[in-house]
Structure 1
């Protein structure tokens, strides 16, 4: 057992300073490997970040276009609402004007019917009066003819009497 102990290398923990150097080398080697892995991960993360930044810029531009579209559509909607209000106002005014015109037309038609009825009544009365006047005129003409004939007869008699008197 003693010889084996002599040929065997000493326990690093038993040699002063050797254990720290070996441990430092192990730790250093482990740190180098971890550092390499971290550098790889960092490179991957940088690539992902760059890709995400590109995506973010695209998304910002898309969002900006969408915001502009919303703004333009809002302006267009407001314009259409104003146009609709104008059209509704004009339609209400036109409807009121049409109703007023219809009321005036009904009044004029009623007035026309009333005037027509009055004129027809006056026309019947005038025709009746004309008929009566015609009949009276006819009678007066007959009387006038009779009186004229009688007058001529009397004028003849006066003329005969005058010839007898002279």
Structure 2
């Protein structure tokens, strides 16, 4: 049995699901009584979301709406990296929320070390913004997955290319 099995640890989200969550959030903001006449705008760019509104109170409500819609669409809240709140013209505020995608090098090294410490026969190789985990045993790979799921990392982790 010379074959080896592998899977990739990645941090991604489904962009179309994010588009749908933003659209649903916009519809709810238009129809909600407390947010109806606030002039709130939500704009989705490929790697960020920009929220423009009239006060921090309404911004908090918009965050709640956006988070609830993201959860319903199976998007992790760990992909949102909230920027600082800035003043805009006309007593309005703006906040940019960066969308996290990919595993940073520091976190990839931590995950790799965690795997090496707990499973000496399993190899973990950093490949750009993902991590390839290989082993001769499928059972060990599944144990690695369970170990990583039990940890609380600052980014959302998914497992794909399980072969």
TM-score calculated relative to the size of structure 1: 0.15
- Judging by fraction of residues, say which structure has more strand: 2
If you compute each CA radius of gyration, which structure gives the higher value, 1 or 2?
Answer: 1
- Judging by fraction of residues, say which structure has more helix: 1
TM-score calculated relative to the size of structure 2: 0.15
Q: Which has the higher contact order (CA 8 A, sep 6+)?
A: 2
